[in-house]
Amino acid sequence: MRLFSSGERVHLVNAKGDHYPLTLKAGALFQFSGETIPHDAIIGLEDGSEITLSRGSRFFVFKPTLAEYTLHMPRGAQILYPKDLALICMWADIHPGATVVEAGIGSGALTMAMLNAVGEKGRVISYEIREDFARRAVANIEAYLGSAITTDRLLVRQQDIYEGIEEEEVDRIVLDLPEPHKVVPHAVTKLRSGGIFLSFLPTVPQVELVVGALRKEPAFSEIETFETLLRTWNIDGRSVRPDHRMVAHSGFLTTARRVKRLPKKEFTVRPEEGPLPEKETIEKEQI
């Protein structure tokens, strides 16, 4: 059984599905449209419990999922949508024990998703040149995953990844920044063979640049670009229709695989063998 404690981040959800984030604090009071409830009345309850405010309004109290938390957490920079976070972790194959280099950290949404995926034995190294973004992201991450994670599994480097990557033989490089094509040469030397390069970009010209940079490098193969659209549906008896609003284009994902190619063989004719037969002669012999 999981019980709420003081200092924990929870979401109060009403009948309409509206979320109200709340950090529990002993002795504090939650207020909503003239109604109140003491935090102490929530502390000690089980996750998913229903509560009643002073005038009868009812809410469920949940430990927010990562998707819910990222949509409602304080922001320093624009966040990635949960649909993109899920696909990034899948297409980049962020697995337990992996070492992942990312840039930039933004508000921390993608970082949290990857920290969950790499598990206790993995690491995420985040390059972020803006101190205010890094500070906001670390606060969001610690509020959801705990302060120990920024000591054990997350390293934030206030450095420009365009100038280079310090880590060697990393498993994955994941980029959410405007010019990922500038990182491609560094990825050639720092990404292990079989490793995955992934970038998230909002516009086609940016995608053209990064795909062009990847194709120029023999060290990369399996280059692919795609986008995803998320549309929810309204189900009410026999009234079944798509919702009027949807999360359509948010960005393009481009992935590539680091490879080791065999050296190209050079075919030469030894003097004693004479010249190669003419094309016409070869065709007659084959007939």
How is residue 41 written in tokens? 């009345």
107 annotated binding-site participant: yes
Task: Label residue 43 by pLDDT band (50, 70, 90).
Answer: very high
160 annotated binding-site participant: yes
Pairwise CA distance, residues 154 & 141, whole Å: 10
Pairwise CA distance, residues 169 & 23, whole Å: 40
Q: Do 9-64 and 68-232+241-258 agree at the fold level?
A: no
Sketch the domain layout of the chain as residue ranges: 9-64, 68-232+241-258
Indicate if the pLDDT at residue 285 is higher than 60: no
Residue where the block lists tokens 């050639």: 188
pLDDT digits (tens, 9 = 90+) for 245-274: 888 899 999 999 999 999 887 666 566 655
User: Within 10 A of 185 (CB to CB), how many other CB atoms are there?
Assistant: 15
Residue where the block lists tokens 């994670």: 149
Q: What is the pLDDT of residue 226?
A: 96
pLDDT digits (tens, 9 = 90+) for 152-194: 899 999 999 999 999 999 999 999 999 999 999 999 999 999 9
109 annotated binding-site participant: yes
Strands 154-157 and 239-242: unpaired
Please say whether the beta carbons of 136 and 156 come within 8 A.
no
pLDDT digits (tens, 9 = 90+) for 197-230: 999 999 999 999 999 999 999 999 999 999 999 9
Report, as an integer, the average pLDDT of 46-69. 96
169 annotated binding-site participant: no
Please say whether the beta carbons of 114 and 89 come within 8 A.
yes
Report, as an integer, the average pLDDT of 269-282. 56
Scored b (16 or more CB within 10 A) or e, 162-183 reads: beebebeebbbbbbbbeebbbb
* Alpha helices (H) along 131-203: 131-145, 149-152, 184-190
How is residue 181 written in tokens? 């094509």
Task: Label residue 31 by pLDDT band (50, 70, 90).
Answer: very high
Eight-state DSSP code of residue 115: H
Indicate if the pLDDT at residue 51 is higher than 90: yes
Q: What is the pLDDT of residue 150?
A: 83
Q: What is the pLDDT of residue 269?
A: 59
Pairwise CA distance, residues 105 & 124, whole Å: 11
Q: What is the pLDDT of residue 174?
A: 98
Indicate if the pLDDT at residue 50 is higher than 70: yes
Q: What is the pLDDT of residue 279?
A: 52
Residue with the larger pLDDT of the pair 287 and 25 = 25
Report, as an integer, the average pLDDT of 25-35. 94
The fold adopted by the segment(s) 9-64 is: Vcp-like ATPase; Chain A, domain 2 (3.10.330)
Please say whether the beta carbons of 66 and 112 come within 8 A.
yes
Task: Label residue 284 by pLDDT band (50, 70, 90).
Answer: very low
Q: What is the pLDDT of residue 240?
A: 96
Pairwise CA distance, residues 105 & 156, whole Å: 8
Report, as an integer, the average pLDDT of 54-61. 96
Which regions of 92-149 does DSSP assign to beta strands (E)? 99-103, 123-127
At the fourth CATH level, which superfamily is domain 68-232+241-258?
Answer: Vaccinia Virus protein VP39 (3.40.50.150)
Strands 191-201 and 170-175: parallel
Indicate if the pLDDT at residue 282 is higher than 50: no
Q: What is the pLDDT of residue 265?
A: 77
Ordered DSSP codes for 16-81: T--EEEEE--TT-EEEETTEEEEGGGTTTPBTTEEEE-TTS-EEEEEPPPHHHHHHHS--SSPPPP
Q: What is the pLDDT of residue 216?
A: 97
Please say whether the beta carbons of 91 and 253 come within 8 A.
yes
Backbone angles phi, psi at 83, to 5 degrees: -60, -35
